[in-house]
């Protein structure tokens, strides 16, 4: 097959130009978005402690929740 194209260089150039033109045409048709919509996985926790101050809430409830969440795989 290589000998075929070596013997016919003009034919090889025509095929190469056709492939390049098809690639340029294909790239122009690709959908491109500057800011694609990507939904990041999220977790929402809500904890209540009636009558507790923010410091007590952080020390007694949130510290326990954070400590237990460190063991969850895939959670950064």
Per-residue pLDDT reduced to its tens digit, 23-76: 999 998 888 878 878 888 888 888 888 988 889 888 888 888 888 888 788 776
| Backbone phi, psi, residue 28, to 5° | -70, -25
What would the mean pLDDT of 13-25 be, rounded to a whole number? Answer: 97
How many whole angstroms separate alpha carbon 59 and alpha carbon 44? 19
Residue 21 has pLDDT above 90, yes or no: yes
How many whole angstroms separate alpha carbon 47 and alpha carbon 27? 51
What would the mean pLDDT of 8-17 be, rounded to a whole number? Answer: 95
Residue 1 has pLDDT above 90, yes or no: no
Domain range summary for the chain, segments of one domain joined by +: 1-31, 42-76
């Amino acid at each position: 097959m290589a000998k075929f194209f070596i013997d016919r260089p003009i034919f090889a150039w025509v095929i190469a130009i056709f492939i390049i033109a098809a690639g340029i045409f294909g790239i122009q048709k690709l959908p491109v978005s500057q800011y694609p919509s990507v939904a990041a996985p999220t977790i929402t926790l809500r904890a209540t402690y009636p009558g507790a101050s923010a410091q007590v809430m952080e020390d007694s409830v949130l510290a326990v929740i954070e400590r237990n969440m460190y063991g969850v795989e895939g959670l950064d």
